[in-house]
Structure 1
């Protein structure tokens, strides 16, 4: 039905004359190549756009984690916050001066954003433990929840203090 261009019910009683039915089938066969192309065109467009977008996207010049498979093997620290990040072998040649400062600012922004997300997750886990402990009256779980650390929150507080004071 999809490639024939209609529903079977629409042609059931439309042409009782064999000649009309024959002419319609002949026209359908003649137009079949164009109709098939028109029906496949959206898929072709999606494939082409996807391929072009993959070609045009550049990989970032840094990674916050060591990733040798992607070429990020050289460890560096940002000048301001001393955030560790990894770059490729050609990084020093490509990024100097203002470009380097922009990259380092982006590294620090990404790092702080990751800390915020991780801090939120840690707080959610701690609050969930406290809630379960209160709900079930489990003093052991309550004590563990009270002792639970939030290292991302601590690091975020440390960075915020160094930026503002």
Structure 2
């Protein structure tokens, strides 16, 4: 619920100002909203004051009804007695249980409710379902905003093949290696990667800024998110977009010409490039298992492999040497990254004076380095 604290403070200030000005109905409304977002003692005291005011008003109305003046509040129902009742929750038990489950999960796969072998299609399907159920406009249970952000964060990591690979190997800490590589490749890309994650932008990407059956738009000011229906704004944007569109078909064709040329060049390149002979991973057409004779490296080939590479032939020996070189290079790169991660964690522990972090760095797994060492130990 920490993510709702800023919005809760704003609601409390509005409720306090309404109470001071005598608008007790508005004060109760925003005080209840602040309590749902982030309960505080100040807000609880304010609710008690509002309840006392309504109770006193109800007593005064009752006394007036016993005298010469009629109790006009009964003409439309006793507003004092109605407002003094606690506001009923606007969320269901099912929504509350879902929010609690998401906020208690630490594993990204558990958050989305998918297995570690989930495909891209399954990830997108799971995200769509969870995002619609947890969006603050649909789910007002306490902690729904934090759960909504967690779902978006989990999908953004698992939908990125590089981030997902690092997460599967080392967990959340493995994602730091992805950020370090992006920092070396491009400063702008590094800034974007380290910017605060925006779950609403991800939601807009899937649903166009609105629910499939509504016109709900999501926009952001600073670090605060706002939700609302803004049909006029959408129409203005569409009008401005149409105003800047090319007025002639010739202009549109000229803009599409570079993309068309790029598409044709890419298509011709794919036609000229043949599939690789082998793969270090099982999958697709590469289902036939083989092993090199020197380092006993496992690799996979197509079913027609034996037609082109005979046993004991020179091309087969050359291919196995290429497989071993490729595998060793891959292990070296991964080993280097493991050592960098281990050293970075150790330095962080020294910098902050954390013995736990230093111990964690000492126990940091270097599987690729160990495999590389074993590989050379069993070499002939």
TM-score (norm 1): 0.69
Cα deviation for residue 88 of structure 1 reads 0.9
User: Counterparts in 2 of 1:39-58, with a 5 A limit?
Assistant: 42-58=258-274
Q: Distance in 1 between matches of 2:285 and 2:326?
A: 19
User: Counterparts in 2 of 1:1-165, with a 5 A limit?
Assistant: 42-67=258-283, 70-96=284-310, 97-163=313-379
What is the RMSD computed on CA atoms of the aligned residues? 2.6
Please name the residue that 1:7 is paired with: none
- Secondary structure, aligned partner of 2:299: strand
Moved over 2 A (4+): 35-48, 157-163
Q: Distance in 2 between matches of 1:36 and 1:134?
A: 59
Larger relative contact order (C-alpha < 8 A, sep ≥ 6)?
1
- Cα distance per residue 1:86-130 (max 9 Å; x no partner): 111111111121111121111101100110010011001101110
Q: How many residues align?
A: 134
Gaps of 5+ in 1: 5-32
Which moves more between the two structures, 98-107 or 35-44?
Answer: 35-44
Gaps of 5+ in 2: 1-245
Distance 1:150 1:37, change over 3 A: closer
Distance 1:106 1:37, change over 3 A: same
- Secondary structure, aligned partner of 1:71: coil
Q: Distance in 2 between matches of 1:37 and 1:46?
A: 14
Q: Distance in 2 between matches of 1:84 and 1:54?
A: 28
Q: Distance in 1 between matches of 2:325 and 2:317?
A: 12
Cα deviation for residue 39 of structure 1 reads 8.1
Distance 1:128 1:38, change over 3 A: closer
Cα deviation for residue 46 of structure 1 reads 2.8
Cα deviation for residue 48 of structure 1 reads 2.4
- Cα distance per residue 1:67-89 (max 9 Å; x no partner): 1xx20111111011000001111
